[in-house]
Structure 1
Amino acid sequence: MHLFLTAPVLAAYVAARPDPSAIVDGQVAENCGWPSVVRMETPAGAAPCSGTLVHPYIVATAAHCVFYWDFARVVFGESDDAASFSTPIEFCEKNPDFPIDATTEAQWDNTDYAFCKLAQPVENVPIIPIAYGCELDAVEPGAEITVVGFGITQTMATDVGTKRFGDTVLTELDAGELVVESISCGGDSGGGYFMQLPGGELRQVGITSYG
């Protein structure tokens, strides 16, 4: 297992900026929809963030999630009522360049990513590859992006914990940050940004950070 092999790729396209931390008016994921997107749970069962399985042992999420919360497990499935299974987390590591003394989210820049090592490999969930090399040429303003996460559907809502997805458009590529039309909300932090390449292949191109 090579824990940091994916880091340079995600570092280049990590901080996708809509509203911080359900997809606003998003669609509820069907059974087995976006199976690699997970809920990040604390020991008490709270799920303040999302994540994405990028390797049988590794879940990618946001650095601010790992900084603010101690996660115990990741949960695969579509909701609390339809959780397929959970897997314990062995440890999490945030990007060492993440500014823990930042006073505003804008100061996170493109440093807001982290990885969690699972206690055992997850071999039965299909993984969407991270865009790499010349595939990144397709990540440009105007590209259609699908955002997936477990957050609330609007400000002050309480419907966190259901996997939702929504489509948006990449409006700007700024110093390693993907800037999109606002769509995510509280609880989506750490979730995945996905896009379809010209050849039809699906790739992960970012991690939800803030808005």
Structure 2
Amino acid sequence: MSRRVNAARAATVVVVAAAALAACVPEPAATTSQQAPVIGGTPTTDGEYPAVGALWLGFGVGCTGTLIRPDVVLTAAHCLDPAFIGDEIPGFTLDGDPNAGVPVVVPGRATARHELFQLDVELQPGPQQFYDVGLVFLAQPITTVEPMTMATPAEAAAALAPGLAIELVGYGITDEQTGAAGIKTSAVADLVTFSDSELQISTPGQPQNCNGDSGGPGIADLGAGPRLVGIVSRSADVQPGCAAGGIDTRVDYYLGWIEDRVDGPCPSGCTDAGAPDAAPDA
């Protein structure tokens, strides 16, 4: 259901990482997109996952993101990388099918990517540390829905275990054959394994994140209600396609980084290029 980063667009920039990130940023219709929606999922109904929306770019739906404050969206760093979106600052829409008409889009005013995130790294299969976490600061708050609650380190430590059900939500490809995408879709898959900073979710035959789902949430009940536990990053096997499961950035691991920028100086320190002035926390 996710969209993965477009390798065709990034091939001259980051050959190794582009294949793995095929689940993030979509291309205009004339080019090949590596972003995808949840494979094996179903379209959401009105009111489902109200804090989950799409990053809106000049060509339409880019990645997926989750409202964590009325004016802050949590997404993946690679969704905001200039290699994929240039100097554009994405807007944000909560419309379930933004391509069906004229979507309600709240403009973005600034972005932030983790300072240690780099596209040009050699990724290995499975969880590792990729720093794939980013933020979009909106020009005005969204007050019609409740922001999603993020998992804390204590909650994650107590509840994360292989087999935990993870809800996947995104605007990515739902069918690799047709390339259909751009509708908010959801599914449930199992947590396979995890490291300190990443989660591996889903196995072959289960629902999958795909191109366009990048930046979207992995949601789990950790004992006190739904929590945002993951941010869709890439495929688990570092190959194009949406069949081998995916890797999510762990929200609890980067919670300090997120909160420092959301509640601290980042809104004034972030730039159009997306790099805050503050030193990294994780």
The TM-score range, normalised by the shorter chain, is 0.7 to 0.9
- Aligned partner of 2:64 among 50, 73, 78: 50
Correspondence list, 1:1-211, <5 A: 20-21=23-24, 22-42=37-57, 44-67=58-81, 68-69=84-85, 70-80=88-98, 81=100, 85-102=104-121, 104=123, 109-136=129-156, 137-182=158-203, 183-199=208-224, 201-211=225-235
Residue by residue over 1:144-185, the C-alpha shift from the partner in whole angstroms, topping out at 9 and shown as x without a partner, is: 100100001132533211000110010101241100115101
Q: CA deviation at 1:105?
A: 7.6
Give the SS at the match of 2:234.
coil
Residue by residue over 1:89-127, the C-alpha shift from the partner in whole angstroms, topping out at 9 and shown as x without a partner, is: 001111111013325586983411100100011111122
What is the alpha-carbon distance in structure 1 between the residues aligned to residue 128 and residue 118 of structure 2? Answer: 6
From the superposition, tell whether residues 30 and 105 of structure 1 become closer, same or farther in structure 2 (CA, over 3 Å): farther
From the superposition, tell whether residues 105 and 209 of structure 1 become closer, same or farther in structure 2 (CA, over 3 Å): farther
What is the alpha-carbon distance in structure 1 between the residues aligned to residue 124 and residue 170 of structure 2? Answer: 19
Q: Is the 8 A contact 1:18 1:179 kept in 2?
A: no
From the superposition, tell whether residues 102 and 156 of structure 1 become closer, same or farther in structure 2 (CA, over 3 Å): farther
Larger Rg: 2
TM-score in terms of structure 1 length: 0.83
Give the SS at the match of 2:105.
strand
Q: CA deviation at 1:84?
A: 6.3
Q: CA deviation at 1:20?
A: 2.6
Give the SS at the match of 2:107.
strand
Consecutive unaligned residues in structure 1, runs of 5 or more: 1-16
From the superposition, tell whether residues 196 and 108 of structure 1 become closer, same or farther in structure 2 (CA, over 3 Å): closer
What is the alpha-carbon distance in structure 1 between the residues aligned to residue 209 and residue 178 of structure 2? Answer: 13
What is the alpha-carbon distance in structure 2 between the residues aligned to residue 111 and residue 165 of structure 1? Answer: 25
Consecutive unaligned residues in structure 2, runs of 5 or more: 1-19, 25-36, 236-282
Q: Is the 8 A contact 1:18 1:180 kept in 2?
A: no
- What corresponds to 1:12 in structure 2? none
What is the alpha-carbon distance in structure 2 between the residues aligned to residue 205 and residue 129 of structure 1? Answer: 9
Q: Is the 8 A contact 2:54 2:63 kept in 1?
A: yes
Give the SS at the match of 1:86.
coil
- What corresponds to 1:13 in structure 2? none
From the superposition, tell whether residues 95 and 156 of structure 1 become closer, same or farther in structure 2 (CA, over 3 Å): farther
* Aligned-residue CA RMSD (Å): 2.3
- What corresponds to 1:10 in structure 2? none
- Give the stretch that moved more between structures: 76-85 or 20-29: 76-85
Residue by residue over 1:65-86, the C-alpha shift from the partner in whole angstroms, topping out at 9 and shown as x without a partner, is: 1002133311112112277622
Aligned length, in residue pairs: 193
Residue by residue over 1:124-145, the C-alpha shift from the partner in whole angstroms, topping out at 9 and shown as x without a partner, is: 1122200114211212222110
From the superposition, tell whether residues 156 and 84 of structure 1 become closer, same or farther in structure 2 (CA, over 3 Å): same
Name segments (4+ residues, structure 1) moved above 4 Å: 103-108
Give the SS at the match of 1:87.
coil
